[in-house]
Amino acid sequence: MSDAAATQGHAPVEPGSLPGVDNRKFGMWLFIVNEIMFFAAFIGLFIAYNNTPEMADLKEVIHANPLTGIIGTSVLLFSSLMVVLGIASIQRNSKRGLMVFLLFTILLGAVFLGIQYIEFSTLHHEGFELATSSATSAFYVMTSFHGLHVFIGVVWALGVLFVAWRRWFSPQRYEGVELFGLYWHFVDVVWIILFMLIYLL
Amino acid sequence: MTETHEVRDLQAPHVKWTKYVTVAVVLAVITAIEIGLALLKPLPPELTTALLIGLTLSKAMLVMLFYMHLKYDTRWYSLALVFPLFMVTVLFIIVLIAAANWNIV
């Protein structure tokens, strides 16, 4: 890579790359493709049990307090906005802006996990356990794996925040933020679908 | 590395922050409509379900196009999604047909 190219935020095409494709970003997309298939299996299972009496009992309890799902969805949607505003900040060389938006993202991710904990506690109190029925299993496995992804995202965001704090990102070099953003938005997209299946239908 | 390699931009596309905020407002409005449809139930159940699915897919598309930058990036990234989304659609159709005909307990 020439110095001139590096300072302008450009890099030579790596041998074997597709035109205009960043291999790291493409790799992230392929990982997301893998995750789509992963979540499709859980969502398919949930849909299969959606019209069973066991699922109706479970949803009756969940729908009794729709605020949990509404707040959780709002929190995740807002966190996605924080991530893209963080990217916009570092593009304008505002490292402080990037750090502030990453902090908000971490905070909102933690709030979402807290809401999920409250939801699980409520269901546990009402007698809906993982092994209560196939329907509850489908629900808990699907939502828990999504929660695990949010947790991984929060840990990843902490890592990105550390890198930002050490001032290793610049307007020419911030792929780490963008790759994290792709992951976080994907987790958001999954929740958009889960929100409809669990709270709206 | 040879000199014949062309240069390209590895960074995210530069999108104005106002566009990100506009997308967020649209997402919030769609979510509010979804919640209204689900809680108030002003329409027949079949129509409500169809609308909710449509609105949800619209939200997912908005996030992928504007926040994940598929609208601005090279189409190779979008092409990577075509086959898995086709497979997922087939899977869901099979599951829906099965769930409608079998008494799964």
Q: Note whether B99 contacts A195, CB cutoff 8 Å.
A: no
Quick one: how far is CA A185 from the chain centroid?
Answer: 5
Is there a contact between B24 and A81 if contact means CB atoms under 8 Å apart? yes
Could you tell me what percentage of chain A is helix, strand and coil, using 3-state DSSP and rounding each to the nearest 5? 80, 0, 20
pLDDT recorded at residue A168 = 87
Q: Measured between alpha carbons, how far is A145 from A190 in angstroms, rounded to an integer?
A: 11
Chain A residue closest in CA terms to B39: A200
> What is the C-alpha to C-alpha distance for residues A67 and A145, in angstroms, rounded to an integer?
22
Min Cα distance B39 → chain A (Å) is 8
Residues whose CB falls within 8 Å of the CB of residue B30, separated by 6 or more in sequence, listed in order = B55, B58, B59, B62
- Residue-wise pLDDT tens digits, A18-29: 777 888 888 999
Report A:174-193 residues touching B (Cβ under 8 A): 174-175, 178, 181-182, 185-186, 188-189, 192-193
Report the residue of A47, A58, A87, A101 to disrupt the B interface, i.e. the one with the largest count of B CBs within 10 Å: A87
B65 touches chain A (CB under 8 A): no
Pairing state between β B7-9 and A10-12:
antiparallel
Res B105 pLDDT > 80: no
Pick from B65, B14, B73: which is nearest to A21 by CA?
B73
Q: Among B8, B56, B104, whose Cβ lies nearest the Cβ of A13? A: B8
The single residue listed with the structure tokens 């609308």 is: B51
Q: What is the pLDDT of residues B3-25, one digit of tens each?
A: 333 334 456 778 889 999 999 99
Give per-residue pLDDT as tens, B47-58: 999 999 999 999
CB A174, CB B11: distance < 8 Å: yes
For residues B27-58, one letter each, b for 16 or more C-beta atoms within 10 angstroms of the residue's C-beta and e for the rest, the string is: bbebbeebbebbeeeeeeeeebbeebeebbee
Q: Are A177 and A90 within 8 A, CB to CB?
A: yes
This complex has an ipTM of 0.86
pLDDT in tens, A73-125: 999 999 999 999 999 999 999 999 999 999 999 999 999 999 999 999 999 99
CA distance A95 to chain B (A): 16
CB crowding A52-80: b at 16 or more within 10 Å, else e: bebbebbbeebeeeeebbbebbbbbbbbb
- Measure in Å the smallest separation between the Cα of B90 and chain A Cα atoms: 11
Q: In chain A, what percentage of residues exceed pLDDT 90?
A: 71
The verdict on B89 touching A (C-beta cutoff 8 Å) is no
pLDDT at A14: 63
Three-state secondary structure string covering A75-101? HHHHHHHHHHHHHHHHHCCCHHHHHHH
Helix H or strand E encompassing A54: helix A53-64
B91/A181 CB distance under 8 A: no
Q: What is the rounded CA–CA span in Å between residue A38 and residue A44? A: 10
Q: Structure tokens of B80?
A: 């990577």
**Whether residue A10 has pLDDT greater than 60:** no
